[in-house]
Amino acid sequence: MADVKKMAIVVHSGTLDKAYPPLMLAAAAGASDMKIDLFFTFWGLLLLRKKGLRRAKLPGIMRMGTGMMRWRIKKVGIATMQELLEAAKDSGNLTIYACTATMDLMMVKKEHLIPEVDGFMGAAGFLDIAADADIQLFI
Amino acid sequence: MSEKPVANKTFDARGLQCPMPILKAKKEITTLEVGQILEVLSDDAGSKEDFPRWARRTGNEFLGIFDEEDFARYFIKRLG
């Protein structure tokens, strides 16, 4: 391949509606031979806690519709977030970073996080990665 | 439309939703030799745009879409 495209995403939100898109994009990018760096920060970081993806709810008043949404997701055959994460990891193209300031803020320790986390960094570290990416998103 | 290519392997992705058809196709195509052809059956409407773009993006050749009644056949030749 001539040049490998790179995608860098800030995963800022911990709710189901905003957790899905970065994982879908990461899985698709992995299968498209693109490198992906996901930086989980603020409420997004909570998704990296063990069972975090499974516990994600819809935001605000829609929270009570979470079960219905998950049922619809299953019914139409959309993969679970765990499956998407696994698939993106399997491609060998996904690197996951946890935001260290958020870990302090939310009192999250390394041992609370899923083993798929590759690294820990702050804003400057992620900016260095994003500066070299072809696609930069904030979700 | 031109003649339907002869596939070395067929993968049935019907019932799978975005982005799974692409993910599975990626796994399947890596099992082929360079120059061989993968056929994917998909009923995901997004596949019409996804497969040609994905094939080119991954350095392979997209050979065409052949519509059936409620799904379509996608042919990709492995180059990369």
Task: Look up residue A137 and give its two tokens.
Answer: 């998103």
Report chain A's mean pLDDT, rounded to a whole number.
Answer: 96
Determine, yes or no, domain membership for A1. Answer: no
Statement: residue A3 has pLDDT above 90: no
CB pairs under 8 A between A and B: 42
Within 13 A of B7's CA, how many CA atoms are on the CB side?
Answer: 20
pLDDT average, residue stretch A17-37: 98
Determine, yes or no, domain membership for A68. Answer: yes
CA–centroid distance for B60 within its chain = 10
- Residues of chain A with Cβ-Cβ distance to B22 below 8 Å are 28, 31-32
Count: domains in chain B:
1
Question: Does an H or E element contain B41, and which?
Answer: strand B37-42
Task: Look up residue A52 and give its two tokens.
Answer: 């975090």
- Residues of chain B with Cβ-Cβ distance to A28 below 8 Å are 18-19, 22-23
Structure confidence at residue A118 (pLDDT): 98
Structure confidence at residue B2 (pLDDT): 76
Determine, yes or no, domain membership for B35. Answer: yes
Alpha carbon distance A15, A61 (integer Å): 12
Determine, yes or no, domain membership for B72. Answer: yes
Structure confidence at residue A2 (pLDDT): 60
- Residue in chain B lying closest to A2 (CA): B59
Cα end-to-end distance, chain A, whole Å: 29
pLDDT in tens, A40-97: 999 999 999 999 999 999 999 999 999 999 999 999 999 999 999 999 999 999 999 9
CA–centroid distance for A53 within its chain = 9
CATH number of residue B73's parent domain: 3.30.110.40
> Can you give the residue range of the structural domain that contains B39?
9-77
Count: domains in chain A:
1
Question: Does an H or E element contain A97, and which?
Answer: strand A94-99
Determine, yes or no, domain membership for B3. Answer: no
Q: Which residues, 6 or more positions from B29, have their beta carbon under 8 angstroms from its beta carbon?
A: B38, B60, B76, B78
CB contact under 8 A, A31 and B80: no
Determine, yes or no, domain membership for A105. Answer: yes
Percentage of chain A modeled with pLDDT above 70: 99
Structure confidence at residue B14 (pLDDT): 96
Active site residue B29: no
pLDDT average, residue stretch B29-53: 96
Alpha carbon distance B55, B75 (integer Å): 9
Residue of B12, B18, B19, B31 marked catalytic: B18
> Can you give the residue range of the structural domain that contains A106?
6-138
Determine, yes or no, domain membership for B1. Answer: no
CATH number of residue A133's parent domain: 3.40.1260.10
